[in-house]
A and B are shown apart, each in its own frame.
Chain A
Amino acid sequence: MRHILSILLENEAGALSRVVGLFSARAYNIDSLTVSTTEDPTLSRMTIVTHGSDEVIEQITKQLNKLIEVVKVIDLNESDHIEREMMLIKVRATGKDREEMKRMADIFRGRIIDVTEKTYTIELTGTSDKLNAFIEAIDRSVILETVRTGASGIGRGERILKI
């Protein structure tokens, strides 16, 4: 099952590679990973999307907690949460496709952020499923390039991951 793990870790050189190394050394999956510093510059916040049985996810959580630089780990799937991913997608926009691409971007609440005679670059934000749906909805042959950030997640309401 797909899980979103949210990790607070020390913003130190090498901390990221410890996390990534752990996943490869123990043969766990990383579907996506995002990381950046937080409002507290000594801390980084990482979101890892992974999948595995409950036992595997439990081990992943424990192994992450064992890393000295990891401050806290939560499995966002354990309660309500919000998930967002951003995609930049460059598409061929010529002839009748040009109008169609604009319409599709509007339907998915995307924004066209770069325009040339032959291309649009569309910024789209949403759950990973929504981004997948957009790719499914448009003609594959017009896609020139996609860049996705991977999912970031946060708990709903009062649920806060902080020191």
Chain B
Amino acid sequence: MQISGAEILVRSLQEEGVEFVFGYPGGAVLEIYDAIFRQQQFKHVLVRHEQAAVHAADAYSRSSNKVGVALVTSGPGATNAVTGIATAYMDSIPMVVISGQVSTPAIGMDAFQEVDMVGITRPCVKHNFLVKDINELAPTIKKAFYIAASGRPGPVVVDIPKDVTQRLAEFHYPESVSIRSYVPVTRGHPGQIKKAVNLLAEAKRPYIYVGGGAVQGNASAEVTELVKMLGVPCTNTLMGLGAYPGQDQQFLGMLGMHGTYEANMAMQYCDVLIAVGARFDDRVISVPSHFLSQPKKIVHIDVDPSSIAKRVKVDVPIVGDVKHVLRDMIDLLKQTGQQVPQQHLANWWKQIEEWRSYNSLLYTPSTEFIKPQYVVQKLYEITGGDAIITSDVGQHQMWAAQYYPFKRPKQWLNSGGLGTMGFGLPAAIGAQLANPDAQVACITGEGSIQMNIQELSTAKQYHTPVKVIALNNRYLGMVRQWQEFFYGTRYSESYMDALPDFVKIAEAYGHVGIKVENPADVEPVLREAFSPALKERLVFLDFRTDQSENVFPMIQNGKGLDQMDLPPHMRDLQIAPFENNRDYGNMC
């Protein structure tokens, strides 16, 4: 029986086991929406802006093991989706974005709501398709899901002209897909794995540096096993948080521009570095030449060969799925009984414990002003460290990363690569739908939340009781911090004048809003927000936080990992510079 292209699309999505489609209707996709109306298998989530549809689909994927799906119309619907697509691309999130297109005869005619979606998204997708032939529709959807989820994951756009959704054809969904020009590598080269293990067996100061690839690659168990069996220190990038348990003694915290003192010092002074699904990003290692000025051997495990030797030259590149490669490394270590030399390792730990003892995340508590760090710490306590946390971008994002030690992967959802303000709230909605029983909180600021605040309406419609934790300092905080440090406190356009009453906004959308101005109220209000009484409600907590608080430690542009701007309490300390062959014998 012949069915329409729209029905073929819907059937294909059903074949892929899609649960939710996040989208917004419009002229070019009316046929598809009609087909959605006539089916029950998956649910459509109507957002209030296409950017939010893509962020919600993205976070649905980030917080599960599934491919997120978004559906937008042509023209402005498509362009609104671009920020979301670029966000997912930078963080390697598997997603299929379906965009409507004007009918094939109208393409190129500057038709109403026409935009070259394939052209616009080309630099920010893993791949994209324009489906001109209805017979290609089902195979293209199959390919899109396969490409999105395999290898280094990423978003795939499928642009479908309206006439293709209207034409009729037989529906055959391919069972498998093979693309001759696309064959992702899975297993690492055994010779390279052996070299990596041999390097570890000679290491004096080993360090494991784990990025988002370990989260996306479901390699958290292998990371933890390897770090535990070797007894070595471990750090996570912003994207990798949760890949190794944040409360474990062997975890040194996040590294990078706002990483802990010990995590950054260890990164600079390690002699054997195992990079797992991480990419030596500028916000992580800062200046490559300074990072490499301290000699070290680097093993780099990544599924994407182009991530390797992009910013730093490495000694042992291993291309492969991180989960498989780590498993092979663990097996080889067990087989050969090789270990990290214990005396050196003990000295390395003494050095690290000294660095850690400075407590670089210490901040000055206040009974007058609400400290943003304190809010995050209390949130951690009250949620038992189990909540799924989404964030926007800015100071609050860094405080969330620093003060909420994530227990497990896929618990921390943020736009690390693109740094997209407005990600947090739609992401929280997507995460809640993927995890209906989980507590979901969105840590945000008064700047970021206003970039997609209309999604409070979506949250109402779909009963996603997320908790919005707004750290409201009446400033675009990170911009203000940079202006304080580097622009002579000229706070150009970083003050948010005429802020709305967020409590009233929350209430207007049918939610609960609470303003918190007194530090003593932070804990009780958080308890109330997460109490059974409000379990089914979205609660918007407007914390009026200390306006002058800055994020520390901080590595300024052009500075090295060991040249951090330190928090006030560390500035007068006499910290001895790192010495290669220091005698730790007398240290307590």
A residues at B contact (CB < 8 Å): 9-10, 13-14, 17-18, 21, 25, 55, 58-59, 62-63, 65-66, 68-71, 163
Contacts and interface: CB of A to CB of B under 8 A. Distances in A.
Determine which residue in A13, A25, A58 has the highest number of CB atoms from chain B within 10 A of its CB, and name it: A58
B344 interface: no
B181 A71 contact: yes
Interface stretch (B72-80, B119-127, B413-421, B430-438): B119-127
A140 to B, nearest CB: 40
Nearest to B182: A68
Interface stretch (B22-30, B197-205, B248-256, B304-312): B304-312
B181 A66 contact: no
Nearest to B122: A21
A52 B122 CA distance: 24
A163 B179 CA distance: 13
B317 to A, nearest CB: 11
Interface in B100-121: 118-119
A66 B304 contact: yes
A134 B561 CA distance: 54
B298 to A, nearest CB: 15
B475 to A, nearest CB: 34
Given A17-B119, A163-B180, 18 more contacts: A10-B181, A13-B130, A14-B130, A18-B122, A25-B123, A55-B313, A59-B306, A59-B310, A62-B308, A63-B306, A65-B305, A66-B305, A66-B306, A68-B126, A68-B147, A68-B181, A68-B182, A71-B180
Contacts of A163: 180
22 contacts: A9-B181, A10-B181, A14-B118, A14-B122, A14-B130, A18-B122, A21-B123, A25-B123, A55-B309, A58-B309, A62-B305, A63-B306, A65-B305, A66-B304, A66-B305, A68-B127, A68-B147, A68-B181, A68-B182, A69-B181, A70-B181, A71-B181
Contacts of B118: 14
Contacts of B126: 68
B303 to A, nearest CB: 11
Interface in B171-188: 179-182
Nearest to A70: B181
B138 to A, nearest CB: 18
A4 B260 CA distance: 46
B127 A17 contact: no
Contacts of B122: 14, 17-18, 21
Nearest to A68: B127
Nearest to A22: B123
Contacts of A69: 181
Contacts of A9: 181
A10 B126 CA distance: 16
A130 B308 CA distance: 38
B166 to A, nearest CB: 22
Contacts of B306: 59, 62-63, 65-66
Contacts of B181: 9-10, 68-71
B310 to A, nearest CB: 6
A163 B309 CA distance: 27
Contacts of B309: 55, 58-59
Contacts of B308: 62
Contacts of A66: 304-306
Nearest to A69: B181
Nearest to B156: A68
Instruction: Name the residue among B130, B179, B182, B313 with the largest chain A CB count within 10 angstroms.
Output: B182
Interface in B283-330: 304-306, 308-310, 313
A75 B96 CA distance: 34
Nearest to B147: A68
Nearest to B319: A62
Nearest to B151: A66
Nearest to B305: A62
A52 to B, nearest CB: 14
Contacts of A25: 123
A25 B123 CA distance: 7
Given A17-B119, A21-B123, A68 B179 contact: yes
Nearest to A14: B118
B94 to A, nearest CB: 14
Report, nearest first, the 4 A-B pairs whose CB atoms are least far apart.
A62-B306, A71-B181, A68-B127, A25-B123
A55 B305 CA distance: 13
A14 to B, nearest CB: 6
Nearest to A71: B181
Contacts of A70: 181
A111 B122 CA distance: 43
A20 to B, nearest CB: 10
A10 B127 CA distance: 14
A63 B304 CA distance: 10
A66 B122 CA distance: 13
B421 to A, nearest CB: 23
Nearest to A60: B306
B39 to A, nearest CB: 30
A9 to B, nearest CB: 7
A62 B126 CA distance: 14
A131 to B, nearest CB: 33
Interface in B357-377: none
Nearest to A25: B123
A66 B118 CA distance: 18
B104 to A, nearest CB: 13
A50 to B, nearest CB: 16
A71 B306 CA distance: 16
A21 to B, nearest CB: 5
Contacts of B305: 62, 65-66
Contacts of A59: 306, 309-310
B533 to A, nearest CB: 51
Nearest to B119: A17
A135 to B, nearest CB: 36
A69 B181 CA distance: 6
A18 B128 CA distance: 10
A1 to B, nearest CB: 17
Nearest to A65: B305
Residue of A9, A62, A71 contacting most chain B CB atoms (<10 Å): A62
B395 to A, nearest CB: 30
A38 to B, nearest CB: 14
A58 to B, nearest CB: 6
A94 B305 CA distance: 58
B14 to A, nearest CB: 25
Contacts of B119: 17
A66 B180 CA distance: 13
Contacts of A17: 119, 122
Interface string B439-462: 000000000000000000000000
